[in-house]
Amino acid sequence: MRVTQGCFSFLPDLTDEQITAQIQYCIEKGWAVNIEFTDDPHPRNTYWDMWGLPMFDLRDAAGIMMELNECRKVYGDRYIRLSGFDSSHGWESVRLSFIVNRPKEEPGFQLERQESDGRSIRYTTRSYAADRPEGTRYGGK
């Protein structure tokens, strides 16, 4: 099951050219661009690891693409996303975030139903990938 999170996730995967254009947009808006990766695809997982430091004060997307390609070399079997952080007063938050790399196979989620008091049911989603320990979830060693 294809994970859909952030911008553009219902579109076909962006090409490098399209990613470059999005990064350039972020740079021109003055946002800091971050590269993050994770192997826990749960939508409520907000703790992604950062690849390097946030990148600001750059003029051209090529530098960020260089870092992204490095990150893909190391974590090509995980989810990688780019985010643009707007530090200006009143915003101070992520303005744009999109997935740029995903594992080859995404096993999807199990929906667990828990019967609780009365007849009510609590739902939980649990990703099949997260059954395995961190670092080995998508065919990693």
Token readout for 23 is: 């990064």
Member of 54, 63, 76, 140 binding another protein (CB under 8 A):
63
Whole-number minimum distance, CB 55 to another protein, in Å? 7
What is the C-alpha separation between 50 and 85, in angstroms, rounded? 13
Q: Which is nearer to another protein, 75 or 79 (CB)?
A: 75
The encoded tokens of residue 4 equal: 């859909």
Decide whether 11 or 62 has the Cβ nearer to another protein. Answer: 62
Min CB(86)–another protein separation in Å: 20
Considering beta carbons, is residue 52 or 135 the nearer one to another protein? 52
Q: Does 72 bind another protein (CB under 8 A)?
A: no
Q: Which of 5, 42, 45, 58 binds another protein (CB under 8 A)?
A: 58
User: Around Cβ 83, how many Cβ atoms within 10 Å?
Assistant: 21
30 binds another protein (CB under 8 A): no
Is there binding between residue 23 and another protein (CB under 8 A)?
no
Distance (Å) of CA 89 to CA 34, 57, 75, 93, 94: 19, 17, 34, 10, 13
Who's near 84: CB < 8 A, 6+ residues apart?
A: 26, 29, 31, 32, 33, 34, 94, 95, 96, 97
Does 62 engage in binding with another protein (CB under 8 A)?
Answer: yes
**Nearer to another protein among residue 70 and residue 105 (C-beta):** 70
